[in-house]
Amino acid sequence: MIHGRELSDKSFQLNSLDGLRGFAVLIVFLSHTSSNGFGLFPFIDFSGAGKSGVFLFFVLSSFLLTLPFLKKGDAAINKEFLLNYSFRRFFRVYPLYILYLLLAFVTSVTLWKIFKLAQPVGIPFTLSFKEFLEHLALIQGKGVTWSILVEFRYYFILPVLALTYSVILKNKIIPSILLTLVLIISSQMIWPESESLKNDSRLGPYLPIFFIGSFLAVVFHKWNESSLKNSKKMLYGLEFLGLVAIFILLFMIPSVSSIFIEEVPYDYYHKQFIIHGLLWSIVIFSCIAGTGAVRTVFEISFLRYLGFISFSAYLLHVLAIIFVKQLNAGELPMQGWLVFVITILISHVSWLTIEKPTSKIRLIK
């Protein structure tokens, strides 16, 4: 079913991170289905956990996109390399994103007239032509698209930071730590995480998560050059830290926290950007540098498959939820699984027909 990492550079393939990406979209899916009353598992409510999955996406993207710059070093200061980076980022996101926005715009224009409604209504959300253009220009984000605005904006900053790490600081750990700390503190002074908005589409408040992910790439790059990777004590230590981080992240699901302490609001952990960034970074590093126990879990084929179709699933699971809601199936216990199956089917088609072909677009040398 899976042959390599089909949407990225195979020279930087890390199978467990495909699975982690699948796990991230699964967290978002479980959160949204739970909050809509379509829980897949009756014994746990995942409402409010979706932000954690999005933060995992942020850390993964910044880590994986920074790594090639570090490996290239001075060779990354190359017009062709930088243009290819830009082209790949654009074609990785925009083809499906544009179609998603077009669906919202077209249905907003037509549905209310067809069904003689009092005001425009769109799927997955109402979108005027002005808003359509603002979404394309990364000015506004509705629904789940807020995170696309945030992540895509970081793509403009990432090459500068990555080249600073590799070319100016020569990937040295101490200077890189100091630079990262300065950047995190500075960004928090300007955009405090505590003052961020719900589904805030500004990049500023989330910058610490991205900075942590990019710095993790420096750590991993130096790790591969170090003899520490051969130390069993270090490997077991990383594995232990990874498991601890996973347990803390599980505890940060509001319904789980509420078992041990007083009732926790669903959005209680939504503004803990730095904590999420650090915890997910530990999990990622445990996957790629530990003894292999954590890695094995995230290398499960189905999780890796979810990782491949994760962008489609992230956008399109909303459509599946809307469709099942319109069925008026009442208290049918399998509604959550119906949403899941529909999401997988339409995401697979989207991946095959849109994501996979456009991911192969390259600049002609």
Output the pLDDT for position 364.
Answer: 57
Output the pLDDT for position 327.
Answer: 81
168 band by pLDDT with thresholds 50, 70 and 90:
very high
Output the pLDDT for position 161.
Answer: 98
Helix axis angle, 273-289 relative to 232-251, nearest 10°? Answer: 140
Asked if the model's pLDDT at residue 8 lies above 50, the reply is no
Output the pLDDT for position 1.
Answer: 42
Output the pLDDT for position 329.
Answer: 58
- What single-letter amino acid sits at 339? V
Output the pLDDT for position 229.
Answer: 86
- The span from the CA of 258 to the CA of 252, in Å, is 9
Asked if the model's pLDDT at residue 3 lies above 80, the reply is no
Q: Average model confidence (pLDDT) for the chain?
A: 91
Asked if the model's pLDDT at residue 173 lies above 60, the reply is yes
Output the pLDDT for position 354.
Answer: 95
Phi first, then psi: what are they for 38, rounded to 5°?
A: -115, 40
Output the pLDDT for position 4.
Answer: 42
Domain ranges of the chain: 10-359
Asked if the model's pLDDT at residue 59 lies above 80, the reply is yes
Output the pLDDT for position 5.
Answer: 44
DSSP 332-364: -TTHHHHHHHHHHHHHHHHIIIIIHHHHT----
Output the pLDDT for position 10.
Answer: 53
- pLDDT, tens only, 224-267: 988 888 889 999 999 999 999 999 999 999 999 999 988 899 99
Asked if the model's pLDDT at residue 334 lies above 90, the reply is no
Asked if the model's pLDDT at residue 7 lies above 80, the reply is no
Burial class of residue 89 (count of CB atoms within 10 Å of its CB; 0-12, 13-18, 19+): middle
Nearest to 145 by CA among 118, 124, 163: 124
- Collapse the DSSP code of 211 into the 3-class scheme (helix H, G, I; strand E, B; otherwise coil) and give the result: helix
Question: Average pLDDT in the 202-215 region?
Answer: 97
- pLDDT, tens only, 278-323: 999 999 999 999 888 899 999 999 999 999 999 999 999 999 999 9
Asked if the model's pLDDT at residue 270 lies above 70, the reply is yes
Question: Average pLDDT in the 75-82 region?
Answer: 90
Cis peptide bond upstream of 265, omega within 30: no
158 band by pLDDT with thresholds 50, 70 and 90:
very high
